[in-house]
Structure 1
């Protein structure tokens, strides 16, 4: 039995980085994750999924992403926690964005 692939998981090439990623999360915990775990956190649109977030992040910053976690928080926002491959540094991306 084959599983049906939901339409939301289909990655579209017409979607741009700024259409999905609203802003980076700047908090003490998020900065600790950048420095210690090589992870960077963004607030994303409600309809974003893991595949789309990973593809757009890799295209925008020219890095390899190991994993992506999507969380709906208590404030009604959707957070994407992106683990950057150890060949790259999340702190370099954070400096480009002005977080650190």
Structure 2
């Protein structure tokens, strides 16, 4: 599970939960096949479709030196009907 960094909980991702779509930040070097395998194995679900994109990195300035923040890849995963991923544990 080291390829998946964290689940994403934004306004848009919460709206996507109604369509059985979940957003995760994953390692930049991972591909769709690896992430699909990990999601299906770890959460015991069936993945229907996957979309990915790489948001641009933010610039940081230290005098005349410009560096970029750590980049990541964001995956939006659509599950087959009847499956779901619990993002929060019941308290």
Q: Could you tell me which residue of structure 2 aligns to residue 29 of structure 1?
A: 12
2:20 to 14, 18, 38: 38
CA contact (8 A) 1:40 1:81 kept: yes
State the shift of 1:98 in Å: 1.9
Any stretches of 5+ residues in structure 2 without a counterpart? 58-70
The structure having more radius of gyration, on CA atoms, is 2
Any stretches of 5+ residues in structure 1 without a counterpart? 1-16
- 1:33-90 CA-to-partner distances (Å, cap 9, x unmatched) read 012x21000000010100001010000011100011111012432101100101213x
Over aligned residues, Cα RMSD in angstroms? 1.5
Instruction: Provide TM-score, normalisation by structure 2.
Output: 0.76
Report which of the two has the higher share of strand. 2
Instruction: Provide TM-score, normalisation by structure 1.
Output: 0.70
Count residues in correspondence. 76
- What is the alpha-carbon distance in structure 1 between the residues aligned to residue 46 and residue 72 of structure 2? 25
1:7-86 to structure 2, matched below 5 A, reads 17=1, 19-35=2-18, 37-75=19-57, 76-86=71-81
